[in-house]
Structure 1
């Protein structure tokens, strides 16, 4: 066997071979567009600026990585548009080298500077929210994680681009190139939609629903079956304890007793009524609503002075402080009706199904309303309604607007309302001139008032009619302020003076602010009451303002307040 050797020309005397690993890095780096990198750096800076709430280092890393990837894409897109317009500067090798070194130097200064500033801003946000300060050294981890996230997103986008180009080349064999390119883009978009809808929506959401349904059989620690006949799930109830679901069991087993109410208010009290129907007890929301009404009948709820219809979050949660404050304020002479309409927690219910919450809110309210209307007018109880977060969105679905609420209820308390709620959006968009988006004034506060705290209800002594509707929301609550509009539009609440618990340094930036607020939502309820999506003791003030109990004083409200702040 013979072999042939090919002569390799010797390297020049001044040449040094490039190690293979360095050659790979060089090729990767040279494949990045300088304009894209410059805009990515700008987006990195923006992502470090303060947002509504403190963020864990890993959430900051994800927000920064997404922002950097988007910035890079926007920069590359802008450069592409410029080239398509016929502008294609032919820089010399020396000029390019100077440009790269300049970009590198700016990056070397900017990145560590804004990591330090970002950690400092986060400490300020934590102080405003009453949260313990974090270790600022974690910002080194933020840099590492953000790079990983950005690289993954960049690799995914390049993979999609390569796939589109491959389809275009195949199609160009049979049809003109422009048409082939259009078809290729359409195919890639269709595949993406199919993947998201089939894999993510149906697959992951279905799996999450099964997991949540299994978890719904559990019972929270310390929760025991009530024995009082005034509660669903008790031995006297038509709704079995097991059928109520985890959140339903927590709801009916909680709340103050008559003795506890008397101990706080100093007045005689009754045992509050709480009725509930679980998701497993009925085929649909209409059937569940009828089960709740049957429980109201059984417990004698229509003989009480107040019946409250509470629309729950997806898995059936009711804010215990809001519910209990109502019971203290009414001296226990009340009944709260609620039902579960899903197994999924609110974030997944929001993604998977926005139709069921308002359907459930409408079904329950209308069923209770019909039962109340059957009573003689002079002996009917007051009918009020409330809900928090997705429950606020769902509960408002029973009404066409504020005037409908005023006509059909004796008051409403909507807590932490999501931005996509139609009634909230309409009122906010049509607020009185000069009032702020974070705290709108509606018709001078005649019937509807927005409040971040109890102090906001007074409105300088402006007349307040009856019935009364309160929207309770915090300036730092991302659930209320999150919207797809944040991608490209600066909202009024960031143009106007910010709330007291929002860092004055918060600024809007296209795309970046959207992802900041999106990730703020993850732990929005893990802050002290009065901030973010945590609503607490001020519920007593809200209910006292809505119900106006006879003989009730500010001192009574303060004593109820203390129950939830001790």
Structure 2
């Protein structure tokens, strides 16, 4: 019931509580088993047992309602911190019933597995000694469980989800229409058919500001931004899809623009429109963004089912674009930058061995809401300057790489900032960034150090419990206002202004772009 990173719906709280109850019960059973194995078996009198049970009942009668009340109050505090409307606290009365039902279900499954193991042991005793029978039954149950979970159930569910997502990918979002300008993939001038781009690809190429809109915001002449894209069904491999994207860049004259951006998408091919548009405003339209779809699955399922393809796609697209970019005369190349959000950040960083590689091969990068399992992010964070917090690391005094939760963090107290510039944009309250299996048994640095401004100061690490709390936080991580959780908004204007630092660009220009992105 204790607070975590984001507000939890009462029914998700019930799930987290139910799982925690089952885990607590399991730990208690394990402790009792270990005590008995040590030869300690107290024989309590009936009166002592009654006193013990009644004492436990009284403690439960006080503690459970107290923490239901406290839990509902803690959730109100978390909602205030991230700017979400408060809820009816009466719903928390239902949590206990649902949590107990979930705990009972988990316990029943565990006891069923135990019964199966005991049955196999009894069967084995006919042929082998007891230790061997117990070991063999345990091995059989573990293997069967792994086959069921990773085989029949896993492949069946993922296959069904993939078919459903592929069918959905053929639809088009409301108010999205085929572009007619040659600067866009999917247009009549494009080699990439409109229907082949996928739902998110069609949304991407149909969106973004026009030259007139950019001029209205910046007050300076602008060009029509280029957006190129290839869908998952356009080729048989990510490498071949990347080659199609490069062909679109060649067709549109993208290598003659001032800024060329390689964007790695999320699972279904999504690109954050605010991040893309803010780059185009900052570059005054003299830009091109290249992206491609590599999966039909949404990010949550891609995260579970396939972590290899995002990195393969990010590497394939960047390498293909970089090869074509490098073939140009050095003095006529555009600035080459790269960006990605969430699973796109994970995949995009897959093109690089680390920060030095990014600095050597790009003119800047913006990594947004990076998941904890991204190895490049993890290494850079681990190598941060002594005394800097895990939630906002300082790397080499901020010479090239900076972490920011908001625009003001980029300044880093006026420290010199060279070029190229790499920005990791992450929020203290984003469970996507902070979720890790390590939370089960290890307290992370970000929970030892002072917490972020939008995280309840009362959040504490509890073995097992914090893991499930942050897991539940991920479900609605994007259902909070921009600047919190996994929602990234107008600050994108500041991020790109800092990375690109175009000549003549002012703070007032950035504020104008922010105002447009906030609409």
- Counterpart of 2:145? 192
Structure whose alpha-carbon radius of gyration is higher: 1
- Backbone CA RMSD of aligned residues: 0.5
TM-score between both structures, scaled by the size of structure 1: 0.91
SS of the counterpart of 1:101? helix
> Residue 197 of structure 2 contacts residue 231 of structure 2 at CA under 8 Å; is this kept in 1?
yes
Aligned mate of 2:185, from 216, 227, 232:
232
SS of the counterpart of 1:458? helix
Aligned mate of 1:429, from 382, 388, 399:
382
Question: In structure 1, what is the Cα distance between the partners aligned to 2:410 and 2:302?
Answer: 32
- Counterpart of 1:40? none
2:277 maps to 1:314: no
Unaligned stretches of 5+ residues in structure 2: none
2:194 maps to 1:247: no
Aligned mate of 2:73, from 120, 123, 137:
120
> Residue 278 of structure 2 contacts residue 517 of structure 2 at CA under 8 Å; is this kept in 1?
no
2:426 maps to 1:473: yes
Question: In structure 1, what is the Cα distance between the partners aligned to 2:478 and 2:462?
Answer: 25
Residue 145 of structure 1, CA deviation: 1.1
- Counterpart of 1:45? none
Question: In structure 1, what is the Cα distance between the partners aligned to 2:251 and 2:101?
Answer: 59
Question: In structure 2, what is the Cα distance between the partners aligned to 1:148 and 1:222?
Answer: 44
Question: In structure 1, what is the Cα distance between the partners aligned to 2:220 and 2:74?
Answer: 49
Question: In structure 1, what is the Cα distance between the partners aligned to 2:14 and 2:314?
Answer: 38
- Counterpart of 2:173? 220
2:352 maps to 1:352: no
1:486-505 map, 5 Å? 486-505=439-458
Question: In structure 2, what is the Cα distance between the partners aligned to 1:480 and 1:200?
Answer: 28
Question: In structure 1, what is the Cα distance between the partners aligned to 2:401 and 2:152?
Answer: 43
Deviations 1:145-190 (A, max 9, x none): 1111101001100111111111111101110101110111111100
Residue 141 of structure 1, CA deviation: 1.4
SS of the counterpart of 1:387? strand
Q: How many residues align?
A: 519
Question: In structure 1, what is the Cα distance between the partners aligned to 2:98 and 2:513?
Answer: 46
1:395-434 map, 5 Å? 395-434=348-387
- Counterpart of 1:482? 435
SS of the counterpart of 2:505? coil
Question: In structure 2, what is the Cα distance between the partners aligned to 1:67 and 1:225?
Answer: 50
Question: In structure 2, what is the Cα distance between the partners aligned to 1:140 and 1:199?
Answer: 38
Question: In structure 2, what is the Cα distance between the partners aligned to 1:312 and 1:510?
Answer: 34
Deviations 1:84-108 (A, max 9, x none): 0111111111101110011111101
Residue 199 of structure 1, CA deviation: 2.5
Residue 56 of structure 1, CA deviation: 0.8
- Counterpart of 1:258? 211
Aligned mate of 1:145, from 98, 106, 113:
98
Deviations 1:353-393 (A, max 9, x none): 11110100000000000111111110000100000000000
Question: In structure 2, what is the Cα distance between the partners aligned to 1:214 and 1:252?
Answer: 20
- Counterpart of 1:536? 489
SS of the counterpart of 1:385? strand
- Counterpart of 1:514? 467
Residue 394 of structure 1, CA deviation: 0.2
Give the 4+ runs in structure 1 shifted more than 2 A.
Answer: none
